[in-house]
Structure 1
Amino acid sequence: MTVAVALGCVTATPHTAASAASATRTASTASEPSPAAALSLGAAANFAVLAGTTVTGTGATVVTGEVGVSPGSTTAGFPPGVVAGAVYLDDPVAEQAQDDLTAAYDSAVGRPGTASLRPQLGGTTVTPGVYNSVSGSFQISGDLTLDAQGDPNALFVFRAPALATAPASVVRLANGAQACNVIWQVGGSATLGAGSRFTGSVLALTSITAARGATVNGRLLARAGNVNLDAATVTRSACATLPQRRTVTKLGAFCDPKSPGNLALVATVTSEGSVPPVGPVEFFANGVRQDQFPTDATGHAKLIVSRIPPRTHEFVAAFSGTNRLEPSTSPVLKVVVGPEGICPAPPASPATAGSGAPGDKAGSNAKHNRSTITWPPARRAFKGKNRERGRHHHARPGHHRRSR
């Protein structure tokens, strides 16, 4: 199937409420569980980003997982931002998620504390527990390591009035720790620094900001305020993901010689286990969903796009997952299209397109418009040190005989 790259703005439309969302919303009660007890997010666990007023994306923001807003009803910046998941705006699904977020927030607040930590967490290693800040906000400069000590169910809960991570800071997982078991309960707002790599679910009373290029393995859940994403990547974490269930999606762009003038987007999905990665792949161009195709037996899915105007285009492929494989999203693939277009048709013969002599417009365009990439990628004709075309690579009879 061939589609034209969408360039116009679109308005997010609320999805129909799932049948599982009850008209009468229920929330679990927080009854001071033990520090080590699992903390349930309820319906909020399905969301990568949840806000009370609005979700705003800037630039090449990519969210893998559901996005919701309640009681607000707006999102902005999508596109060009990409959401590989459903969007719920002030409907029963988003409302239920907010109710369950409130219950989880209260549960985190009500747990007995394990210890108090200094506000600066960077440069430290923390074992499982429920931690308060001895004074003020938690801060992370450099690396923070969360050591589960071999227990994949180990729970980490950090409680503070605010959270701020420095640019390029990192929250690392060690010895079986899982991002789904890391909770940041924030009594005010949280700010993640530019280029930082953050792990865990932020449960903020007001707002959350992810500065330019920040990466989040977890969730950004704001009760009353907004969530601002500046070219950030947010991937919803999932617990107890077996290695054989994990998938990786990559995206390539190729000129297809069978379809001159069109660009072939080829998604490649791989998994660590024996289950073939056969399932649906969604393609996005400049933040707009184009189409969905299943992968073949080798994990490839292909979409042809045409009529690509000059500019820098951003493409993303998202594997939706199956009941046996986890979803995954490719990094943003940028393709620059100049005024001459991309993947032009091969030059016509001189009999129909001019002589091709210097100064001839048709000949000049044909010379400079030839594509430099093809699908499938061409293999090298020769291997080893001798790669010059036209050179002999075989023995010639008598070539090494001595003259008599």
Structure 2
Amino acid sequence: MKIKNILTSIVVVSVILFTGCDKNDDTDTPLSFVNETLPANNTAGVSRNAVITATFSEAMDASTINTSSFMVKQGTTEVLGSVNYSGDTATFSPTENLSAGKIYTATITKAAKDLSGHSIESEMVWTFTTGGTLTTLNSVSLGASANYVILAKTAVNNSGTSIITGDLGLSPAATSYITGLALTDATGYATSAQITGKAFAADMADPTPINLTTAVENMITAYNDAAGRPSPDFVELATGNIGGKILTPGLYKWTNSVTIPSSITISGTANDVWIFQISGDLNMSAGINMTLAGGAQAKNIFWQVAGEATFGTTSHFEGILLSMTGITFQTGATMNGRALAQTAVVLDGTSVTKPQ
């Protein structure tokens, strides 16, 4: 009888212990936490078009990842935006561009829960500082290259009937590399029914050669200035597809090509400056328009393009184009600005007008 009672007690105790382990098992499970953020804590120079992300240690309940559990503030002012969750990462996308040179605070609260309904281990708070320009950008000085609406080094080739308003320059290539414009020679320059202005080439009479040499040197200096500007406001905006965008003043940077498949607007005041740094090509689709708004002026818009710049049929472009590789205007394309190329400019029934 004593042995039976002892065995019964052992069984009861074992059941209690086993059951107790089950009940407390949840408390032994490690709680989820944020193990990575972008930008990282205390990062400086963050682009004004940045999205803010938080990566969790495990999959979370997506319904708990929202603007109530993921917030961004500048001081005490909440930043408006949308929150998305995929895999193990939450993304906060601001509705508008962030302000330049400001400290922002991002927070993931304990309202964020994992798939088992447990809150994260502790609230996650981190800060970052935006980069960009606090004042109006300085304009890019064109020097003597501003004397030309089209300036190239190797060739200017035209087909169809173009309308060029302003002077055209070519150096170090000779006059024979200006084709399709039916030039009439004069002393130190040439004229054409398609040019409201004059055409100059490196083999013409003095002082044209030295003037062109200076202009080309200044064009290259301007290109390098635009390419070297630091502290961009916007980095990899729309991953290079800027169709449909309204582009506000500032410094933009892309490490690849930029496409414009739908019309865009450049909006700002008459004194604002835009600099676009493009490491690849620039391609504008056929029939697409670039529109200026709010007083923005083409003479204050600078496109620095390391690759080729191509403008589709009947498209319209605004600004000063500084191209290292070449510029091609397809049939009927128009430009209000300057085409300054370190190789060739190709025209096809193109209208190019110097900016006011």
TM range (shorter): 0.5 to 0.7
- Checking the alignment, whether the CA contact within 8 Å between 1:35 and 1:111 is kept in structure 2 is no
Q: CA deviation at 1:96?
A: 1.2
**Cα deviation code 1:92-132 (max 9, x no counterpart):** 12211111101111110111212111211110101001101
Q: CA RMSD in A?
A: 1.7
Tell me if 1:154 matches 2:272.
yes
- Checking the alignment, whether the CA contact within 8 Å between 2:332 and 2:348 is kept in structure 1 is yes
Which of 192, 195, 203 is matched with 1:83 structurally?
195
Tell me if 1:233 matches 2:345.
no
Q: CA deviation at 1:81?
A: 6.4
Q: TM-score, normalised by structure 2?
A: 0.55
Q: Distance in 1 between matches of 2:139 and 2:321?
A: 16
Q: Distance in 1 between matches of 2:251 and 2:181?
A: 36
Tell me if 1:64 matches 2:176.
no
Tell me which amino acid in the other structure corresponds to 1:195: T
3-state SS of paired residue (1:44): helix
Q: Distance in 1 between matches of 2:173 and 2:287?
A: 32
Aligned residue in 2 for 1:142: 262
- Checking the alignment, whether the CA contact within 8 Å between 2:136 and 2:272 is kept in structure 1 is no
Q: TM-score, normalised by structure 1?
A: 0.48
Which of 310, 325, 333 is matched with 1:214 structurally?
333
Which of 251, 257, 276 is matched with 1:130 structurally?
251
Q: CA deviation at 1:56?
A: 0.9
Q: Distance in 2 between matches of 1:205 and 1:171?
A: 22
- Checking the alignment, whether the CA contact within 8 Å between 1:144 and 1:171 is kept in structure 2 is yes
Aligned residue in 2 for 1:104: 222
Question: Which aligned segments of 4 or more residues in structure 1 are displaced greater than 6 angstroms?
Answer: none
Aligned residue in 2 for 1:307: none
Q: Which runs of 5+ in 2 are unaligned?
A: 1-134, 183-191, 203-208
- Checking the alignment, whether the CA contact within 8 Å between 1:57 and 1:81 is kept in structure 2 is no
3-state SS of paired residue (1:98): helix
Q: Distance in 2 between matches of 1:207 and 1:39?
A: 20
Q: CA deviation at 1:48?
A: 0.8
Which of 130, 134, 148 is matched with 1:47 structurally?
148
**Cα deviation code 1:217-262 (max 9, x no counterpart):** 0011101x11000000000112xxxxxxxxxxxxxxxxxxxxxxxx
Q: Which runs of 5+ in 1 are unaligned?
A: 1-33, 239-404
Q: How many residues end up aligned between the 2 structures?
A: 202
Q: CA deviation at 1:35?
A: 6.8
Q: Which has the larger radius of gyration?
A: 2
3-state SS of paired residue (1:203): strand
Q: How does 1:232-251 map to 2 (within 5 A)?
A: 232-238=350-356
Percent pairwise identity: 36
3-state SS of paired residue (2:218): helix
- Checking the alignment, whether the CA contact within 8 Å between 1:59 and 1:81 is kept in structure 2 is no
